[in-house]
Each structure stands twice: as C-alpha cells, then as structure tokens.
Chain A
C-alpha cells in the first residue's frame, strides 16, 4: 500500500514536472497585427527564429480589440504558457492587473515598464537609433527640410521624433524638422491614406526625407515618398526592400532579439528592467543591397562614429520620456 502510494506520488510529481517542462512560451501581438512589416512582425520573427533553432513551439494571438488584452493574458497564463511575451506599450495596464494573480508565470513586456516581481520590462533606446537615422536624413537632404510622421501621438513616438530631430540638428543646425502625428487613437496605426496625405503635405513644405514611425500607416508614407521621388526612412524592421533604391535606411529596433532572448531564457529568466540600446545592439540602422547606392561612405562613417560615441556615453541623446520635453523639437 505504501509502495503504491509512493508510486502514485511519483507519478503525480512526474506529471507536474512534465506539465511545467511542456509549458510553451506565448507571444501576444498588439493591434497593429502580426504582419505589419514593422514592430509586431519583428517580434514574430524573433519567436520564429527561436522556434527554428530550438525546435520548440510557441503559442500566439493577434489582438482584435482593446478588450481582449486582459482576457488573452489570463487565458495564456491559465493554460500554463510560460513565459508570456507581449509586444506593445498598451499592455501596461492589463499586465499590471494580471501579473500578481499568476506569481509563477513569467511575463515580458516590451516598450513599457510594469513593476512586479515576475515581470521583465524591456525598453529600447529608440531615441539613439532615431538620432543615427536623423543624421543620415540631414546628410541626404538637399533642401535642408526633413520630415517625421508618427502613428498615434504617445510619448513613445515622441521619443522617436525627438531623437531624430536631435540627429538632424547635429549635422545641420539650421535644418527644419517638420513633425506630424497621424492621430490620437489606435486607428492611427492602420491608416495609410492619412499617412499619404501627411507625406504630401510635408513634401509641399519642402521636406525631401521623411521618417515614418507609424506601424501599418507607414506603408502609405513609404509608398507616397517613393511615388513623389523623395527619400524615406523605415522603422522597427528592415523595410529597405519595400521600395528598393528609394528608402534611405530603416531604424532597426531589435524587438526580435528581445523576444528571442525571452524565449531562450524561458521560465528561469531574470526579471526586472532591461534596456536595449546602441551599446548592446538593441537599436541601429539597416544597410543592405537596397540602399547601398543611397548611403555614401562618408555618411556611413560619420554615423558609425556617432554610434560609437553614444555607446560609450560621449554623446548623450535626450530621451523625451524622461522629462516630457525635447530640446530640438516642439510638439
């Protein structure tokens, strides 16, 4: 009888450990959609790379509405997914409510800080990457006027704009930076028609390089820039291939690396605050065969030099979100 008990106990323990070993990581995409050619797609690519290299599987969901955030988190946590990675600042509130209910589950949130013992908050120094592409924009511009088009008007996107403007001014202090936001609701991430109109408005004000940090709206911005014969700068993923020879570069935000390392660290990950910047390869700019003809050697050298200086701390790029103000641009 006691042997039976031991066996049963062992079997139960086995089942429990097997359960936790089987816990697949999960990834939740934000409203922009998994294939936005930008932020969410980068997250997906990271997860897929992990899946290919380790042979593991992961669960995923693409949100359709704001109301699904908390529901999706709880669903995954209760189904035993661990860790659960969510791509997007907008999960902040939902995660703040959910995290404490599932103390054994590890959560990773990208672009937002949530203070809980089982949460890893990954933030990127987008202002540093934007600074670099701003320098390139200023050097490529002939008119001395460059543009920035953001998606939804939130501090995070202003952080992009502010870093960009600082980079532009570092090369050409007299340059004009026109900054526009597509809207103030999440629909601003998916309105290419509005993106096109903003681009046309900026072109008529003299802009000849436009930096799009607007998710799916960026598709319209890059298209119009290519149609009207000006240069554009992509964001988050490498978008150079979308219009070969017409996109100056892309500000790379290595969301894929963040997702990859979260999946790789798995259940035993270190939680807390994690900053991905120029120093640890979290941000950067893209070079490939599609933009090789647009970027001169001098341009690349000056940008690489600035990147090294930012990494060592010799140049500090002001972060808009630190004090809600920008020295180089007024909103």
Chain B
C-alpha cells in the first residue's frame, strides 16, 4: 500500500465516520441525561428525507438543513413526550420512531415527488459542495491544468497530498461535526448545564432536590440529540449523496450506538471510536479481501469487526462500559 492509497483510505474514513460521529454525539447527550435512544436511525432517516426534499424544492441546501433538523427535532420531541412526560418505555418509543420514519419518509416522498419514495436529484446550490481549502489541489486546479485530478495528486509531495486529499475537499458539515467534539466535551464537563445534565443521568433525585427541573434538563438533552441527528441525516442526503433514497441510513444509527458503548459515553472517545469504525468500513470497501501472507481475510470479517469489537467491549475484556446509572428509567418524583 503506497502513501497516496493510505491517504485515500483515510479520506474515505472521514466521510464515512462523520454521520456516525454526529449520531454518536447525539446519543451521548441523550443517554448522559438518562434517556436511552435507539431511535437515532429513524431521526437520521427523517432528517435525510426532509433535507433532501426541501433542498430539491427550494434549491437552497441551507433551508434543507433547517428542515432536516426541524423534522428530527419533531421526532425527538415525540420521544421526549413518550419517555419523559408519560414515563413510557424508552426502548419501545425508540423502536416506534424507527418504524415511523422508515414508513413516513417513503410515503411522503411518493406523495410529493412520485418517484417511488425518492427525491429528485439535487443540483447546484441544492447540495453541500466540497470546500476547497486555499493552496489545495482540487477540481479547479485539475481543470486549469487540463489533466485528471488523480494524476496531479499522485505527483504532489506527501504534505500536499495530506492537505489536498485528506483535509481539503470535504463539505462544510464535516468540519462542523469535528468542531462538535470539543464543544460537546466543553458543554458536558466545563459548564454548569453539563454538570446538571450528567447528574440527571446518574441521580435525578439529587438534581430534583437541588431545585433543578429534571424534566427540563432531559428535554434539553433530547432536543440536542435531535439537532445532531438532523445534521447527520442532512449530511447523508445532501452532502454525501444528491438526494434521498429509501432506507439510506442503512443501519448507521445502530453502528453509532455501538460506537457510543465502545466510547463508554465520552466525547473524545466517541471521536476515536467512530473514526475506527469508519476506518474499518473504508478498508473493507477499498480492499475487499485482504491478503496477509497466505491468510486471506474475507470482506465479511472486516464488515463485522465493529460489532465484534463492541461485543468484546461489552464482555468486559477491554474494560467495563458502564452506562449512566439512571439510564432507561423514567423519573418519578413521588410514589
């Protein structure tokens, strides 16, 4: 494997990891506040559809992003209503949201666009185009030189390759999502709101005794979760792809949950866990069967690795993953 190939694999890793990272941080906020959320997948899917649909109709991707976030927030509100206000079972509410999103997206898409549950292809300003950082070799340079981009990159120095291929050329949402990691860490561990949010996931009675609203905090956490899932869905449909296709999240919400356990509910670890999962996916896509001197690793093994790793973690080999103590149980003030 030469250096440029390595860079290309890492580049693919970044693209694949971003939706996982956003969904993982979304789950982190929610679960740290004591609300388990297996509806990440459904919220992403709903946001993917509404962002693509609104972007297709208006031709403005930012309006699409807003619509995606709003639709994801609506589902998050539903989850909050069911599991916080009415103290329902959080897992069941999450499953319901997944089913709801899976059915509603295709139904509405068919009704609006008559393209069999898809949105029209997004063009021009209707999608997030890649940002070319200054001095990076990108499509414009390739066009000016009249040669394919891959040739120009192959001739460039290693530093330029890293800069142009790995750092430059992503959509603005990618850079935003990486900024979300330190922001999350700061909110959770550096602010009063974060302290209360973590406390409400460990011991809501103590928070209540201190005179802070448990319900309010939990709704705030679920809301942040909705916003982040919305961005993740919009990234899938309007940045990575140019439109919505049914079930396009393809289980990424569940991989994000696995990553969350893998990261033991910590933001920086969430970043490394999702990057690791993204790397494994990118490797599996680039080298479908890896030949290690006589032993051929089948592609199925590579694709299963994220799950195997998570099971290993859960079995306690790499260290115990302890979820927030009050997670999954609705808060009852008085019996």
Q: Which residues of A contact B (CB under 8 A)?
A: 33-37, 41, 153, 180-181, 183-184, 187, 190-194, 196-198, 200-201, 203-204, 206, 216, 219-220, 223, 227, 242
Query: Across the interface, do B116 and A41 meet the contact criterion of CB distance under 8 Å?
Result: yes
Interface string of B1-44 (1 = CB under 8 A from A): 00011001000100110010000000000000000000000000
Question: Assuming the A-B contacts A206-B150, A223-B241, are A33 and B246 also in contact, with contact meaning beta carbons closer than 8 angstroms in the complex?
Answer: yes
Return 30 A-B CB contacts under 8 Å, by A number: A33-B116, A33-B246, A35-B115, A37-B116, A184-B300, A184-B303, A187-B251, A190-B246, A190-B247, A190-B248, A191-B248, A191-B250, A192-B241, A193-B16, A193-B241, A193-B250, A194-B285, A197-B16, A198-B285, A201-B285, A201-B286, A204-B8, A206-B150, A216-B245, A219-B118, A219-B241, A219-B245, A223-B121, A223-B243, A227-B242
Query: Across the interface, do B12 and A201 meet the contact criterion of CB distance under 8 Å?
Result: yes
How many angstroms from the CA of A183 to the CA of B285 in the assembled complex? Answer: 9
- Cβ contacts under 8 Å, B243 to chain A: 219, 223
A183: nearest chain-B partner, CB-CB: B303
Tell me the minimal C-beta distance from B109 to chain A in angstroms.
Answer: 10
Query: Across the interface, do B240 and A196 meet the contact criterion of CB distance under 8 Å?
Result: yes
Asked if B85 is an interface residue, CB under 8 A from chain A, the answer is no
Q: Which residues of B contact A (CB under 8 A)?
A: 4-5, 8, 12, 15-16, 19, 115-118, 121, 150, 236, 240-243, 245-248, 250-251, 281-282, 285-286, 288, 299-300, 303
A-B contact count (CB 8 A): 77
Question: Assuming the A-B contacts A33-B116, A35-B115, are A187 and B288 also in contact, with contact meaning beta carbons closer than 8 angstroms in the complex?
Answer: no
Query: Across the interface, do B117 and A33 meet the contact criterion of CB distance under 8 Å?
Result: yes
How many angstroms from the CA of A187 to the CA of B303 in the assembled complex? Answer: 13
How many angstroms from the CA of A190 to the CA of B115 in the assembled complex? Answer: 15
Query: Across the interface, do B250 and A220 meet the contact criterion of CB distance under 8 Å?
Result: no
Other A-B pairs beyond A35-B116, A41-B116, 13, CB < 8 Å? A36-B116, A191-B250, A193-B16, A193-B250, A194-B250, A200-B8, A201-B8, A201-B285, A204-B150, A219-B241, A220-B245, A223-B241, A242-B121
- Cβ contacts under 8 Å, B236 to chain A: 193
Query: Across the interface, do B240 and A193 meet the contact criterion of CB distance under 8 Å?
Result: yes
- Cβ contacts under 8 Å, B16 to chain A: 193, 197
A194: nearest chain-B partner, CB-CB: B285
Query: Across the interface, do A180 and B285 meet the contact criterion of CB distance under 8 Å?
Result: yes
- Cβ contacts under 8 Å, B117 to chain A: 33, 35
Query: Across the interface, do B248 and A193 meet the contact criterion of CB distance under 8 Å?
Result: yes
Query: Across the interface, do B8 and A220 meet the contact criterion of CB distance under 8 Å?
Result: no
How many angstroms from the CA of A34 to the CA of B246 in the assembled complex? Answer: 11
Tell me the minimal C-beta distance from B160 to chain A in angstroms.
Answer: 16
Query: Across the interface, do B288 and A181 meet the contact criterion of CB distance under 8 Å?
Result: yes
How many angstroms from the CA of A36 to the CA of B4 in the assembled complex? Answer: 36
- Cβ contacts under 8 Å, A227 to chain B: 242
Query: Across the interface, do A190 and B250 meet the contact criterion of CB distance under 8 Å?
Result: yes
Tell me the minimal C-beta distance from B105 to chain A in angstroms.
Answer: 12
